[in-house]
């Protein structure tokens, strides 16, 4: 196992990264709460999506959601691993991956804002599902020692170091 800095504190690094990600999600969460409570108070929440469709609005929202999902789910891991393949030190891989993880989670926060805006604008509960999708993506892919061990496909000594 190679490390660039033998004193690298991976626990502090991971905790700081996780905190930053959750701070980025505060704005979408607050906006969703406001939109939901606002629509609920006025009795305008609708569970039927196609009752009075605004096709143009829903198409634009679907395009935005599709773009965010395509950018973050289809090629993100492959591209990140391709760039990190040249770096042998595990601590440097974590440091280099930080910006990419923040970008991915910023995109997911943007997708959550799209869901909250759709709920605020139209009151369709399908946008609550969109918001929930991004909430699940953010929490399921939160940085943790186990996440990084699986992400890099670590085995043996490297996996043990990462998960300690």
Q: 90-126, pLDDT tens digit by residue? A: 889 999 999 999 999 999 999 999 999 999 998 888 9
Q: How high is the pLDDT of residue 28?
A: 96
Q: 150-160, pLDDT tens digit by residue? A: 999 989 998 99
Q: How high is the pLDDT of residue 1?
A: 63
For the chain, domain boundaries: 10-163
Distance CA 114, CA 153 (A): 33
Residue 39, classified by CB atoms within 10 Å of its CB into exposed (0-12), middle (13-18) or buried (19+), is buried
What does 122-146 look like in DSSP terms, one character per residue?
A: H-BTHHHHHHHHHHHHHHHT---HH
Q: 52-105, pLDDT tens digit by residue? A: 777 888 899 999 999 999 989 888 988 898 989 888 888 899 999 999 999 999
Distance CA 152, CA 150 (A): 6
CB atoms within 10 A of CB 47: 10
pTM of the model: 0.88
Distance CA 5, CA 106 (A): 29
């Amino acid at each position: 196992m190679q490390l660039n800095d033998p004193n690298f504190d991976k626990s502090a690094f991971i905790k700081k990264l996780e905190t930053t990600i959750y701070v980025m999600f505060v704005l979408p969460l607050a906006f969703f709460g406001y939109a939901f409570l606002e629509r609920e108070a006025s009795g305008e929440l609708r569970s039927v999506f196609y009752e009075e469709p605004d096709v143009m609005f829903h198409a634009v929202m679907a395009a935005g959601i599709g773009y965010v999902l395509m950018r973050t789910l289809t090629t993100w891991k492959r591209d990140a691993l391709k760039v990190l393949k040249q770096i042998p030190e595990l601590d440097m891989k974590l440091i280099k991956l930080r910006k990419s993880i923040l970008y991915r989670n910023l995109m997911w926060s943007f997708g959550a804002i799209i869901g909250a805006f759709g709920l605020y604008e139209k009151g369709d509960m399908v946008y609550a599902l969109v918001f929930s999708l991004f909430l699940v993506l953010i929490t399921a892919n939160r940085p943790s020692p186990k996440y990084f061990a699986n992400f890099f496909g670590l085995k043996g000594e490297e996996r043990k170091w990462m998960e300690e």
